[in-house]
Amino acid sequence: MINLLSKTSFIPFIRFSFTCIWLVISTAVTSNANTFITQQRDSLISRADTLSAINNQASELTRLLEQQKTDSLKRLEVENRLINMEWNDRRQNQQLVEELRMLKSRDSILLARRKQKVDSLKLLNDGIPVVPFRDTIFRIYTSLGSYTARDRSMAIEDRIRNLASNYDFHVDSLRAFENENNWIIAWNDEMVISFNDQDALWLNTDIASLAKQKLADIKQSITKHRDETSLKNLLNALLRAALILGVVAALMFGINKIAAWLRRKLIANQGRRLRGIQIRGYQLLSPNKQVKLLWSLVTIGKWVFILLAIYLTLPMLFNLFPSTRGYAPVLLSYFLNPLREIGESIVAYFPNLITIIVICLVFRYGLKVLKFFANELHNGSLQINGFFPDWALPTYHILRVLLLAFLMIVIFPYLPGSDSSIFKGVSVFIGVLFTFSSAGALGNVVAGLVLTYMRSFSIGDRIKIGDVSGDIIEKSLLVTRVRTTKNEVISIPNSQVMNSHTINYSADSQEKGLIIHTNLTMSYEIPWQNVQELAQKAANNVVYLEKDPPAFVLNTSLDDFYVTYQVNAYTKHPNKQAIIYSELHKNLVDVFHEAGIELLSPHYRAVRDGNDLDMPKSPTEKPSGKN
C-alpha cells in the first residue's frame, strides 16, 4: 500500500489518468463538433437546394403567368376582330372562333398548371408571417416588385402598428379598392397592403375575395389589440395579479406553518415513535439522526413547493398583460418540456426495458440451473468422470462471471445513451484504467484459477509454501490464507504461490499415511539392533502414530564419532505434527534412558575414565504421549 501511494508511482498514475480523461473529452468534443459542422453543412445544402427549387418553381410560375397574359391579350384581339368582322365571311369567322376556343382552352390549361405549381411551392415555402402584435394575421408568399416577401411582411407590420397607435384612426375608415390589376387596402391616403393575382392564386381564391378577407383580418387584429391594451383591461389585469399574489403569499405562509408544525411533531416524538432504525441489531440511525434526516426531507419538500409555486405563478402573471403574454408559454415550456421529454423517453425506452428484463430473467434462471448442477457435483450426488468435486464451485464462479459479461454485452445496445460518443469514450477510459491498475490483481486471479485446477491443496490441508507452514483456511481468486501452528494468519498472493514450491502433508495422509521422521545419533559401542528396537518402541508409544504399518529405523550415516539413525513412523494426523514430534522426542529420551543408554549430541565426546554415564540417575515417569 505504501508503494502504491508513493510519489514515484502515484504521480505518473495521476498524469496517465488526466491524459486519458483529456483524450476522451477531446475525442468527444471533436466528434460533437464534427457532427455539428456536418449537420450545419447538410442544413445549408438542404436550404440551398430548397431555395434553388423555389426559384426554379417561381421562374416557371412567372413564365406561365406571362404566357397567360399574352394569351389574354391575344384572345381580346381575336374577340375584337370577331366583333368587327362582317357576317358574310363565314370561313374567316369560323377560323377566328376556332382560334378563340383554342386560346380559352390554353388559358384554362395554363391556369391549372399555375395552380399545380403553387401547390408544389407550398410544400417548400411556408410563407412569411405578418405578426404586428402577438398573433399571426396572415402570411405573405410572394414578392412584389423589388420587395421580397419578408420586406412586405415587415412593412405591413409597421403600418398596422402605426394605425393602432393613432387615436385618430377608426377601423371602419379602412377600405379596400381595385387599382388597375391590384387591390389595395388603405386608410385615407396611406396604403397598408396591396395584393395581386399571384397572392390570390397562392391562397386559391380570387383577388377581390382575398382583399375583403385581409381587410376583415386587419380590422379584427387592431380592435383586439386596442381592447387588450385599454385602461379597463389593464386595471382588471392588475386586480387579478394582486389576487394571484395574495393566494401565493397565503400558500407560502401555509407551507411554512405546516413545516413548523411537522418540526414540533418530530421533536415531540423523538425517542417514542421515532426510535431510530435498526437492522438485525445494528443501529443504522439513532433517534436524533432520524429526526434530523426527516427534518431535512421536510425542509427540502417545503422549498420545492415554494419554488414550484413561484415558478408557476410567473406565467400566470405574464399572461395577464398583453406586453408580457408571450413569455408565459416560454416559462411553461422550460418546466413542461423536460417533463414531456422525460415521459416520451420513458415511453420510447419501454420496449428496450422489456427486452432487458426478459434477457436478465433468462440469464438468471440459467445461472440457477448452473448453480444446481454445481452443488450436485460438489456434494458428490452427480459424478462426471475426470471432474473432481472441488472443481465444481470454482468452475461455477468462472462460468457465472463469463455469463454476466456476456449478459452485459447483450444488453449494452439496449441501454439509454449507449450509442453516444461520450458513453463510448467513458467506457474505453474505464477499461483502460481497469486494465492498467489491475494488472497484478489479474495475475493473482489467473494464478488462483490455475491452482484450483491443479488441486495442489484443499481447505484444511497442512502445507508448506516457501518458508510458511500451516493449515489452509481460505482459498480465493486473489490470495491463499494459511494459519500457522502459532495461530498466525498469513495471506500469500496466488502469483507468489505459483512461483514457489508447495509441500502438501495432507494429500495422501489418509490413504498411505504421512511419514514422521527424526534423527538420532548413537556411539559405535551401542549395537544397532538395540537402537532400532528401542526407537520402534518409543514410536509405538505415541498416540497419533500408526501401529500398522509399523515404525522403522534407517541408518543414514556413519560419522567420525557416532552413527546417525533416522526414526520413521506413519501418521494420519498431519495437522498435529508439532505434538507428534514433541511426544516422539520425549519417548525416545525416556526409552533410551530406561535402557541405560545415553543420548549423545553430534559434537559431544564421552571420555571413559570410570565416571558415571551422562543421563539422569532417576528418570521421570514416562509420559503417556497424550495431549
Question: On the CB side of 152, how many CA atoms lie within 13 Å of its CA?
Answer: 19
Give the per-residue pLDDT at 110: 58
* pLDDT tier at 30, thresholds 50, 70, 90: very low
53 pLDDT above the threshold of 60: no
Please write the tens of the pLDDT for every residue from 248-264.
899 989 999 999 999 88
**How many Cβ atoms from other residues are within 10 Å of residue 40's Cβ?**
10
Chain segment 343-382, per-residue pLDDT in tens:
888 888 888 889 999 999 999 999 899 888 888 887 878 8
pLDDT in tens, 128-158: 888 888 788 888 877 877 788 888 889 888 8
Side chain identity, residue 627: N
Alpha-carbon distance of 480 to 593, in angstroms, equals: 45
CA atoms within 13 A on the CB side of 433: 16
pLDDT bin (cut points 50, 70, 90) of residue 600 is low
Average pLDDT, the chain: 76
pLDDT, tens digit, for every residue of 219-234?
A: 888 888 888 777 888 8
> Which of 335-349, 417-431, 552-566 has the highest average model confidence (pLDDT)?
552-566
Domain ranges of the chain: 16-124, 128-228, 232-325, 444-504, 508-627
**Residue 569 · residue 539 · CB < 8 Å:** yes
SS3 451: helix
Phi and psi at 543, nearest 5°, equal -65, -45
Q: What per-residue confidence (pLDDT) applies to 348?
A: 84
Cell output for 103: 386560346
pLDDT score of 48 more than 50: no
Q: Which three cell numbers stand for residue 466?
A: 516457501
Whole-angstrom distance, CA of residue 328 vs CA of residue 601: 106
Listed in order, strand segments (DSSP E) in 348-467 are 462-465
Average pLDDT for residues 571-584, to the nearest whole number? Answer: 90
Top CATH class of 508-627 equals alpha beta
Q: What percent of the chain has pLDDT above 90?
A: 11
pLDDT at 7: 39
Does 268 score more than 50 pLDDT?
A: yes
The mean pLDDT of 595-614, rounded to a whole number, is 62
**If we measure between CA atoms, which residue out of 354, 360, 349, 486 comes closest to residue 418?**
349
CB crowding 94-122: b at 16 or more within 10 Å, else e: eebeebbeebeeebeebeeebeebbeebe
Show the DSSP H helices in 125-230 as ranges: 149-165, 197-202, 207-228
Nearest residue to 546 via CA among 568, 579, 569: 569
**pLDDT band with cut points at 50, 70 and 90 for residue 5:** very low
Predicted confidence (pLDDT) at residue 113 exceeds the cutoff of 80: no
The answer to whether residues 73 and 147 touch, using CB atoms and an 8 Å cutoff, is no
pTM for this entry:
0.45
pLDDT-derived band of residue 289, with 50, 70 and 90 as boundaries? confident
Write out pLDDT tens, residues 314-338: 888 888 877 777 777 777 787 778 8
Looking at residue 192, what is its pLDDT?
A: 87
Predicted pLDDT at 207? 80
Task: Give residue 33's pLDDT band: very low, low, confident or very high (50, 70, 90).
Answer: very low
Total residues found in the chain within this entry: 627
Strand 479-483 and strand 514-522: the pairing is unpaired
Listed in sequence order, the residues at least 6 apart from 94 whose beta carbon sits closer than 8 Å to its beta carbon are none
Residue 17 has pLDDT above 50, yes or no: no
Give mean pLDDT, residues 576-599: 89
- If pLDDT is split at 50, 70 and 90, which confidence band does 45 have? very low
pLDDT of residue 568: 95
* Pairing relationship of beta strands 563-571 and 468-475 according to DSSP bridges: unpaired
> Of the segments 300-304, 404-408, 491-495, 617-621, which one has the largest average pLDDT value?
300-304
Judged against a pLDDT cut of 70, whether residue 103 lies above it is answered with no
H-helix or E-strand spanning residue 50 = helix 7-84
Whether 516 contacts 553, CB under 8 Å: no
Residue-level pLDDT at 584: 92
Q: How distant, in Å, are the alpha carbons of 69, 180, 375, 523, 570 from that of 514?
A: 121, 126, 31, 29, 5
Long-range contacts of 226-232 (CB under 8 A, 24+ apart): 226/164, 228/322, 229/322
Residue 552 has pLDDT above 90, yes or no: yes
DSSP alpha helices (H): ranges in 380-420?
392-411
Q: Is 224 helix (H, G, I), strand (E, B) or coil?
A: helix
Residue 466: pLDDT band with limits 50, 70, 90: confident
The mean pLDDT value for 437-444 works out to: 61
Name the percent of the chain lying above pLDDT 70. Answer: 70
Say what the pLDDT of residue 176 is: 87
CB of 566 closer than 8 Å to CB of 575: no
* Kind of pairing between the strands at 502-504 and 489-493: unpaired
Better-scored residue on pLDDT, 73 or 413: 413
Mean pLDDT of 454-480: 84
**Residue 157 neighbours by CB under 8 Å, 6+ apart:** 130, 131, 132
- Rounded CA gap, 166 and 334, in Å? 37
- Highest mean pLDDT of the ranges 108-122, 288-302, 339-353: 288-302
Report whether pLDDT(22) > 50.
no
Q: Write down the pLDDT at residue 565.
A: 92
> Which grid coordinates are listed for 318?
405574464
Please state which CATH number belongs to domain 444-504: 2.30.30.60
Three-state SS string across 180-198, please? CCEEEEEECCEEEEEECHH
